[in-house]
Structure formats: structure tokens, C-alpha cells
Copies of this chain bind each other. A is one copy, B any other.
Amino acid sequence: MGLDEATVKPHERLSAALATELSQVNSLIRTRMASEHAPRIPEVTAHLVEAGGKRLRPMLTLAAARICGYDGPYHIHLAATVEFIHTATLLHDDVVDESGQRRGRPTANLLWDNKSSILVGDYLFSRSFQLMVETGSLRVLDILANASATIAEGEVLQLTAAQDLRTDEAIYLQVVRGKTAALFSAATEVGGVIAGAPDPVTKALFDYGDSLGICFQIVDDLLDYWGSDATGKNIGDDFRERKLTLPVIKAVAKADSEERAFWERTIEKGNQRDGDLEHALDLLAKHGALEATRADALNWAAKAKSALEALPNDPIRDMLSDIADYVVARVN
């Protein structure tokens, strides 16, 4: 490929290995995001779909299908499906979170309006549904219908759990499975299912996606306090937005009564003052919450890699393993 394995990031190597199929996916996405009657739809969609996301989720589907020796056309449909579902949830998330920036650019709700983001999200979700129906696989439809319900349920759960100090690690995991891991695990599983892979293989693909997705979200939440990655996020965004994530959950679990009062005031009541973020960072350090969160992320990465052992030996499989390492290596 002409790519130096030592310096090129593993998802870039995967992208190069899947280049032909990825370009088919991109072309299908462009065709299907069109709308004969409502030009607002492709405008809004293009803003997000062509913003240079890594296409990690569709790559997972293509990779799974390739490892399982699939030679039909429908992994392309499924990869586009997964990207459409992802884009639809981003559009709705940005309205729900009242976000103004995504991937370093203004969000669609800011450039157009909330109405467009809501309705174009609904449209993309419907289009994803049409794409999966075209595969003719009821099992694929079943997996993606369940994933969609888990995603929406996780998002609703987050609404009530994010500012409630009673939220523990189990509830956090539930939210993360919904908002992130459900689409990762569906993406990998359907790649195996469409290839007709045996149950232990599709199960392993599900487990890889599930663990990778959880790892990915934990790292995302950790970087919000750790801040060493070029995420475009500012340190403490989640704190300012009063989002209870794993590092804070760990610190709250070890809090004395004075510390608990601090978290109640800043997260539950949202009454924040100058110096609060610095104090929060001190408390996270005092209880080793960031290191403990990083250890959890490493565990999930190890789980993801161990799931891969049930899959046929394949260079793509090794790239998936490297991706699991790379996700945690973002925290450095």
C-alpha cells in the first residue's frame, strides 16, 4: 500500500485496505442522501457526511464482511446504513445538547435550524431502513432494529442520569452501550451475518464491537478531563455541561461529605463558579479517578482484542486489533 505501518494510524491502514469498498459506500451514501423534492435534505446531510469523519463504523462492517469471506454486494448497503444511522443520531444529539460545534465546524442546527436537524435526521433514519430492507436479510433487520432501540433508550436514559449523582458505573455502562457501543456492535455483527458466518463468529464480532464501542466512549469521556488528544474539545466541557461521566462517577463514589456537596452544587444544581473546574480536577487526581478510568478503558480494549481470537486469521483482523490498542493510546 505504500503506507509505513510504524507511523500510519491503524484506522488509516484499514481505510487503505478497504479503499475500493469505502469508495462504493461513499458513492451509495451520496446517491441515497439525495431527495427529489426537498433540497434542504442533501444540503444538511452533506455538511455532516462530508465533514471528514473517519467512517470508522462503516469500516467495521466492511472489515467484518471481508474477514468472513463475503463476496456479495450488500456489505456496501450495510456500511451505508450504519453511517446513515450514525449521522441521524449526530443531528439529533446536537439539537438535544444544543451544540454549536462538531468536528471543528458549526453544527447543522446552528447553520440551519433545529427543525431541519430533527427532520433530516428522521429522513436519514428512514433511508437507512430502506437500505437494509434491500439486503433481504431479516436477521440483519432484526439486529439493526434492536440496535436502534438500544441507541434511543440509551439517549433517553442519559437525559435523566447525566445530572443525577446516584448514577453509578452500571447505569453509566447502560448509557454508553446505548449511545455508542450498540451501533459499533451492530456494525460488526451484520458484516458477519450478511456473509453467512457461523454463530460463534458473529457472536465474536458482536463482542468486539461492543467492547470497542465502550472503550471508545470511556476514552472520549476521559479525554475531556485528560486533554492530551487533538479532539478539538476543551478540557472540562463535560463538567461545564454538567455531564456525569465515568471519571466523576469514580470520584463521587469516594467523596467525603464536603466533596459530595461540591459535586451536588456543580453537577446536580449546575451552580458553577471560577475555580470549580480546577477543584474538580484536584478531586479526580486525589482519588485516582483518571488512572482508574484509563485502566477500565484498557480492560475493554483487551476484551475487544480477545474476542477477535475466534475469527479467521486475516490481515484485516490484525488491523482491528491494532485499532483497539490505538483507541486507548489516544490517552497519552
Q: Which residues of A contact B (CB under 8 A)?
A: 35, 37-41, 89, 92, 95-96, 114-116, 118-120, 122-123, 125-127, 129-130, 133, 136, 138, 141-142, 145-146, 148-149, 151-157, 159-160, 174
Query: Which B residues are CB-close (under 8 A) to A141?
Result: 129, 133, 141
Q: Whole-angstrom distance from the CB of A141 to the nearest CB of chain B?
A: 5
CB distance from A160 to the nearest CB of B (A): 6
Contact A155 B122 (CB under 8 A): yes
Q: Which of B35, B114, B126, B151 contacts A145 (CB 8 A)?
A: B126
In the bound complex, do residue B145 and residue A129 qualify as a contact, i.e. CB atoms below 8 Å apart? yes
- Nearest CB in chain B: distance from A173 CB, A: 11
Partner among B116, B127, B138, B154 whose Cβ is within 8 Å of the Cβ of A159: B116
The answer to whether B123 and A153 touch across the interface, beta carbons within 8 angstroms, is yes
Contact A125-B125, Cβ < 8 Å, known A133-B142, A156-B35, A157-B38: yes
Give the contacting residue for A146; candidates B130, B145, B146, B157; CB below 8 A.
Answer: B130
Quote the shortest CB–CB distance from A43 to chain B (angstroms).
10
Inter-chain contact B145/A41, CB cutoff 8 Å: no
Q: What are 22 A-B pairs at a CB distance below 8 A?
A: A38-B157, A40-B157, A41-B153, A41-B156, A92-B119, A92-B122, A95-B118, A96-B118, A119-B156, A120-B152, A122-B125, A123-B149, A123-B152, A123-B153, A127-B149, A129-B145, A129-B149, A130-B145, A130-B146, A133-B138, A133-B142, A136-B138
* Chain B residues with CB under 8 A of A115: 95-96, 159
- Extra A-B contacts (20), CB below 8 Å, given A38-B159, A126-B152, A129-B148: A35-B156, A37-B157, A39-B160, A40-B156, A40-B157, A41-B153, A92-B122, A95-B114, A96-B115, A114-B114, A115-B159, A118-B118, A119-B156, A122-B151, A125-B125, A129-B129, A129-B149, A133-B141, A136-B138, A141-B141
Instruction: Say yes or no: A120 contacts B38, CB within 8 Å.
Output: no
Residues of B within 8 A of A130 (CB): 142, 145-146, 149
A142 to B, closest residue via Cβ: B133
Minimum CB–CB distance for A184 against chain B, Å = 17
Q: How far is the CA of A115 from the CA of B95 in the complex (A)?
A: 8
Report the minimum CB–CB distance from A109 to chain B (whole Å): 11
Pick the contact of A40 from B125, B129, B159, B174 — CB < 8 Å? B159
Residues of B within 8 A of A145 (CB): 126, 129-130, 133
Chain B residues positioned under 8 Å from A37 (CB to CB): 153-154, 157, 174
Name which residue of chain B comes closest to A157, CB basis: B38
Question: Which of B151, B160, B174 contacts A126, CB < 8 Å?
Answer: B151
Which B residues touch A142, using CB under 8 A? 130, 133
Task: State the CA gap A89–B121 with chains docked (Å).
Answer: 12
What distance in Å separates the Cβ of A91 from its nearest Cβ neighbour in chain B? 10
Q: Are A123 and B40 in contact (CB under 8 A)?
A: no
Q: List B contacts of A151 (CB < 8 A).
A: 122, 126
Q: Closest approach, in angstroms, between the C-beta of A48 and any C-beta of chain B?
A: 15
CA–CA, A133 and B146, complex, Å: 10
**Would A156 and B92 count as touching, CB distance under 8 A?**
no
- Smallest CB-CB separation from A149: which chain B residue? B126
Q: Is the CB of A153 within 8 A of B38?
A: yes
